[in-house]
Amino acid sequence: MNQNMGRLIRYILIIQKLSGKNKFIPADEMISYLNRQMAYRGYEVGLSIRTIQRDISEIKGMFEIDIRNKRGDGYYIAEQTINPDIMYDELLLNFDLLTSLNNSSDLSGFIIPEHHRPKDTECMPAIIHAIKNRYSICFDYKLIRKENRVISKTVDPHFLKESLGLWYLIAIDESEKLRIYAVDRIHNLVILPTRYKRNKSLNPYNLFQNSYGIWDDENIPIEEVELSYSPLDGYFLKTTPLHSSQEILTDNAEEFRIKLKIRITNDFVMALLARSNSISVIKPLSLRHRINEIYKQALIRNKL
């Protein structure tokens, strides 16, 4: 492992821990937290108070963050020292993904990144650790569409997938069915001592080949979709295609037209609406009606 990178990750972990809801963090709690988090990332553990004191000194010089120790309470960040322009959580996640992908040839087969940066979540390192080592996990999961009801889940984690700036866990649940969980809605995650046998028949790159984003409902048919855009929007769609099946039919000064083979999900419709200023749905007619109805309802809601 790159020790320089390890130290930098440790610095950010300290800042992140001290930026949480608890103002003071006792020394023994800080040591336990750092040892656990560094172990998830594949680094040697056994950190001491002396190491943390050295790290704090380095943090002050590198990040200009003043960390102090109040006897009887623990470490804390002095007021008004955190730079609001530095997103430490996002920085830590980017380091985690970078080091994980660089240091483990196996892990690259389980993480499916896209181009934009995802939101961070503190349980990501533990999930990566569980996937890499085939440990089952349990956690509380918030059901947003069911009045934020919280349920408990025990699953075998197989893959992580990024979609539209968010990370999703793809796992096998207790009923042996493939499930998808938004990582930002996972809380109180625990890595269980039981190890599972990975389902090698699951190909992460085939799971979503017929869909846009993360949702792939087999009950929705795969259809041929033809779309027309302005040449300006066409430039961006050439750079970032809507879908892997995208085929360019027309590309000139008047029109940019493409063809796709895809399931028409809500996520896909939302992506089409993002370029409402120029899009024309050529086919299927059902999609054209669907977009038309959305525009009608939008006009009613936004009537002057």
Instruction: Please choose, from the candidates 70, 27, 21, the residue with its C-alpha nearest in 3D space to the C-alpha of residue 49.
Output: 27
Kindly list the structural domains of the chain, giving each domain's residue range(s) and its CATH number in brackets, ordered by start: 3-83 (1.10.10), 89-195 (2.30.30), 222-301 (3.30.70)
Q: What is the pLDDT of residue 228?
A: 97
pLDDT digits (tens, 9 = 90+) for 198-219: 888 887 777 788 888 777 777 8
Q: Buried (b) or exposed (e) across 31-68, using 16+ Cβ within 10 A?
A: bebbeebbebbbbeeebeeeebeebbeebeeebebebe
Q: What is the pLDDT of residue 85?
A: 46
For strands 222-229 and 280-283, give the pairing: antiparallel
Q: What is the pLDDT of residue 268?
A: 92
Instruction: Please choose, from the candidates 208, 181, 196, the residue with its C-alpha nearest in 3D space to the C-alpha of residue 262.
Output: 208
Q: Which long-range contacts (CB under 8 A, 24 or more apart) does 50-58 make?
A: 52/14, 52/27, 55/7, 55/10, 55/11, 55/14, 56/14, 58/7, 58/11
Question: Is the pTM value of this prediction over 0.75?
Answer: no
Q: What is the pLDDT of residue 240?
A: 86
Distances (CA, A) of 90 to 9, 60, 117, 119: 12, 20, 8, 7
Instruction: Please choose, from the candidates 148, 274, 171, 222, the residue with its C-alpha nearest in 3D space to the C-alpha of residue 291.
Output: 274
Low-confidence ranges of the chain (pLDDT < 70): 1-3, 79-121, 165
